[in-house]
Amino acid sequence: MQSRTPSDSSPSSRPSPPSNVRTGRPRSAAADEAILEATRAALVELGWSKLTLGDVATRAGVAKTTLYRRWPGKSELVVDAVAVLFDELELPDRGSLAADVEGVVRQFAAILDRPETKTALMAVVAESTRDAPLRDRIRTSIVDRQKRLVLEGRARAERRGELPRAPDPAAAAATADLIYDVAAGAVVHRTLVSAEPADAEWVRRFTALLLGGLAAAATD
């Protein structure tokens, strides 16, 4: 008598799920947004020292376990809460490199002028002086993500003929790093350290200085 073959629906014959498939509950974008918004509101009201993850969870209307699954600590949470604000930066085509730079500098200064940005950025930068992983998170979540604006601006200026094409990708990346450091550093110092306004006249003068240096660097 011929033996019966196990049915395909038998548990032993079912294929195992891929190891990279998540079997837990998926992350909720709405929950993430609520948590980050609550973090920024708590920073303005309480300040860095009194901010707790428990308070943020209550404000966001989520369980503490939901928050802890996403962020291991206060520093990481605050970095991400600020990072999404900088993601609002855009580089619309205003017709010239100078106009493009002035536009994005004004946007950047306006974001830095928000109470939640001031509190959060100064706090996490101070914390990062003794926390290397936090410095890395600031770099990847804020700095590296916003360098795209420099690369976009340079590529657009090259297409317009305002700047010569970079000789190679490595040189372009190095120049982008330098431009970002100069621009971001100047605006942060002006608005947060010196507490002076980045008004239209300052932005115009700064842009002229930046582009003068960029033109000189392009001819080296």
SS3 87: coil
- Kindly state the average pLDDT of the residues 147-159: 92
Amino acid 122: pLDDT: 87
Query: How far apart are the C-alpha atoms of 17 and 38, rounded to whole Å?
Result: 37
22-72 pLDDT tens trace: 333 446 788 899 999 999 999 889 888 899 999 999 999 999 999 989 998
Structure tokens at 58: 């209550």
The pTM assigned to this predicted structure is 0.78
Amino acid 174: pLDDT: 86
Residue 3 predicted with pLDDT over 60: no
Query: Residue 54: which of 34, 43, 40, 68 has the closest Cα?
Result: 68
CA 203 to chain centre: 22
